[in-house]
Structure 1
Amino acid sequence: MTADAGRTGAEPLSSVCWCCGVNRDDAELVHLGNHPEVGICVSCARWVQRRARALEDRHSRGVAAHLRALVGSARAAVIARGWHERGRLGAFLRRLDRYLP
């Protein structure tokens, strides 16, 4: 066993998100179960969850899957047009996106 002599217990460990590369405290990252060395930030974890849900929805014919597909299409159109980068409209759309599936 070796200890890092330069660190004290009060300092938070800094890690990098494996998806986007942003530096975060280790406690602010989501770690994968069998691979604790892999950590992703909350926004990337949301993105991964949406991708996983989209894969599940390919085989589903329910109303909820259809609504999520419509929201995904609208999200793609907003990003393609760059509306999410426009002043107050962009701020509103980014805030709204946090609450959509």
Structure 2
Amino acid sequence: MTTEEPGSEPEEQMCWCCGTVYPESRLIRLGSRPEAGVCLNCTIHLRRRARERLAEGRRPLARWKAQVSRQSREQIMEHHWHQRPIIGPILRWINRHLL
């Protein structure tokens, strides 16, 4: 973390989730806890985890959908399909918009 001068915005801050230092423009501040900042990559991960947790308390079909989505994501990552030139960008787009 950097030290702040009065009247100036801090240039870089640490993500409270992964611990990586980012410029302020790459952090999302938490509403009632403005000192807590989470990087954009971690917000995606936290959103996915929150939706999985919500699905646990729902009907069996919703739980099954979350489980299939998680298992598919794990298989894609294990085989590095998300890094392939043609299918990779498509898989990453789906990942951002799914669960």
Larger gyration radius, structure 1 or structure 2: 1
In 1: Cα distance, 2:41 partner to 2:84 partner = 20
User: What is aligned with 1:90?
Assistant: 88
* Structure 1: segments with no counterpart, 5+ residues: none
**TM-score of the pair, normalised by structure 2:** 0.71
How is 1:1-101 mapped onto 2 (pairs within 5 angstroms)?
4=5, 9=8, 13-101=11-99
In 2: Cα distance, 1:49 partner to 1:87 partner = 27
Aligned length, in residue pairs: 96
In 2: Cα distance, 1:68 partner to 1:31 partner = 28
Paired amino acid for 2:18: C
**TM-score of the pair, normalised by structure 1:** 0.70
Among all aligned residue pairs of Structure 1 and Structure 2, give the percentage whose two residues are the same amino acid: 31
- Greater per-residue strand proportion: 2
The two structures, once aligned, show a CA RMSD in angstroms of: 2.6
Secondary structure class of the residue paired with 2:34: coil
Q: Give the drift of 1:51.
A: 0.9
